[in-house]
């Protein structure tokens, strides 16, 4: 079953670099691993300025979708556009300018255990921008402050709680001022209060830094808190796309179960 409700892009296109209304557009994208078809003709748009939540069951292809957007996986069929330019089959190096503008918050955060928090945050700046330490330190502090953490530069990931680790991973994701952040299950494994704090942070980053966000989750509190728009993946297809209000009127049985909290 497929329901598609086109959003009103004029309501959310405020950041506008160039004339493109969308950062990403996926057109009939297919992806298989061996004989397993994960995406079966998925089309979705990511409008500038919005927070899009991608919801779906385990194994429905949410993470695969994010990875295709940033070129960590290649689509088998269909097209991926970035600001109207076809990026479906770019070479690795050709993705670099896009990855400078798009940050990917991996499931689990992916902090380096052997590095302290300063080193974890400094890493992308040293590696990609070759900045000097005196330029990096204020950026590290500013980024930590944005996620409401201070004076923890000397600590190691093993010293932090799960919620703090997610915040540090978020600080690292925004340190180089991305235009878009892709969040892969940012609240999985967190208690309700910490989940709420991360949800508020996602909103704050969108508001204060004008970051466009794509949030992959099966957490309904995250969905209700952050979504401007919702896409629902089911059996490799985009089964729904629309606002939360439109989703509340959906007839799709699995999405209805999600929205009523019957499944997570
Ligand atoms: N590199 C890969 N090689 C083989 N199979 C893969 C690979 N990446 C993903 N898959 C498979 O694709 C399917 C979709 O994976 P994906 O990680 O996108 O699911 P998901 O919707 O994010 O699920 P979850 O909510 O459990 O994280 C799964 O069956 C997974 O095993």
Neighbours of 185 (CB within 10 A): 19
Distance 70 CA to ligand 1 centre (A): 16
**What is the value of pTM for the model shown?**
0.87
Q: By alpha-carbon position, which residue is closest to atom 2 of ligand 1?
A: 33
Segment 139-190, tens digit of pLDDT: 999 999 888 888 999 999 999 988 888 889 889 988 988 999 999 998 888 8
Atom of ligand 1 nearest to the CA of 64: 18
Quote the CA–CA distance of 16 and 6 in Å, as a whole number.
19
- State the burial class of residue 261 (Cβ atoms within 10 Å of its Cβ: 0-12, 13-18, 19+): exposed
Q: Count up the domains in the chain and report the number.
A: 1
Residue 76 — pLDDT band, cuts 50, 70, 90?
very high
Distance 148 CA to ligand 1 centre (A): 32
Q: By alpha-carbon position, which residue is closest to atom 5 of ligand 1?
A: 33
CB 176 within 8 A of CB 169: no
The per-residue pLDDT for 72 is 92
Neighbours of 260 (CB within 10 A): 10
Distance 15 CA to ligand 1 centre (A): 32
Name all residues whose Cβ lies below 6 A of ligand 1: 33, 38, 56, 58-64, 218
- State the burial class of residue 42 (Cβ atoms within 10 Å of its Cβ: 0-12, 13-18, 19+): buried
Q: By alpha-carbon position, which residue is closest to atom 4 of ligand 1?
A: 33
In a domain, 100, yes or no: yes
Residue 18 — pLDDT band, cuts 50, 70, 90?
low
In a domain, 121, yes or no: yes
Q: Which of 2-16, 76-90, 136-150, 221-235 is predicted least confidently?
A: 2-16
Mean pLDDT of 44-51: 95
Segment 95-127, tens digit of pLDDT: 888 988 999 988 766 789 999 999 999 988 887
Distance 149 CA to ligand 1 centre (A): 32
CATH of residue 224: 3.40.50.300
What is the domain extent for residue 45? 3-259
Distance 100 CA to ligand 1 centre (A): 25
* Test site for ligand 1: of 30, 31, 33, most ligand atoms within 8 A of the Cβ: 33
Q: By alpha-carbon position, which residue is closest to atom 16 of ligand 1?
A: 61
How many Cα neighbours within 13 Å face the side chain of 162? 12
Atom of ligand 1 nearest to the CA of 107: 27
Distance 37 CA to ligand 1 centre (A): 10
Distance 60 CA to ligand 1 centre (A): 7
What is the H or E stretch that residue 69 is in? Answer: helix 62-69
In a domain, 249, yes or no: yes
In a domain, 264, yes or no: no
180-184 and 102-105 strand pairing = parallel
In a domain, 201, yes or no: yes
Phi, psi of 135 (to 5 degrees): -85, -30
Residue 81 — pLDDT band, cuts 50, 70, 90?
very high
In a domain, 113, yes or no: yes
Q: What percent of the chain has pLDDT over 70?
A: 91
In a domain, 215, yes or no: yes
Mean pLDDT of the chain: 87
């Amino acid at each position: 079953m497929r329901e598609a409700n086109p959003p009103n892009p004029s309501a959310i296109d405020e950041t506008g670099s160039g004339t493109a209304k969308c950062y990403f557009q996926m057109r009939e994208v297919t992806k298989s691993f061996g004989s397993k078809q994960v995406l079966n003709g998925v089309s979705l748009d990511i409008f500038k300025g919005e927070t899009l939540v991608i919801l779906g069951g385990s194994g429905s292809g949410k993470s695969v979708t994010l990875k295709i957007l940033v070129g960590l996986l290649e689509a088998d069929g269909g097209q991926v556009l970035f600001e109207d330019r076809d990026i479906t089959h770019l070479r690795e190096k050709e993705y670099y300018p896009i990855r400078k503008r798009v940050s990917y918050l991996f499931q689990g955060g992916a902090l380096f255990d052997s590095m302290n928090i300063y080193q974890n945050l400094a890493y992308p700046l040293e590696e990609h921008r070759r900045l000097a330490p005196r330029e990096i330190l204020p950026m590290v502090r500013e980024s930590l402050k944005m996620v409401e953490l201070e004076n923890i530069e000397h600590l190691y990931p093993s010293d932090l709680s799960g919620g703090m680790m997610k915040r540090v991973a978020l600080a690292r994701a925004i340190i180089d001022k991305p235009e878009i952040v892709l969040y892969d299950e940012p609240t999985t494994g967190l208690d309700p209060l910490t989940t709420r704090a991360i949800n508020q942070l996602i909103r704050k980053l969108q508001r204060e830094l004008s970051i466009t966000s794509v949030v992959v989750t099966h957490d309904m509190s995250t969905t209700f808190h952050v979504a401007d728009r919702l896409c629902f993946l089911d059996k490799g297809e985009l089964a729904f796309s629309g606002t939360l209000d439109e989703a509340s009127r959906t007839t799709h049985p699995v999405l209805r179960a999600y929205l009523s909290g019957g499944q997570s």
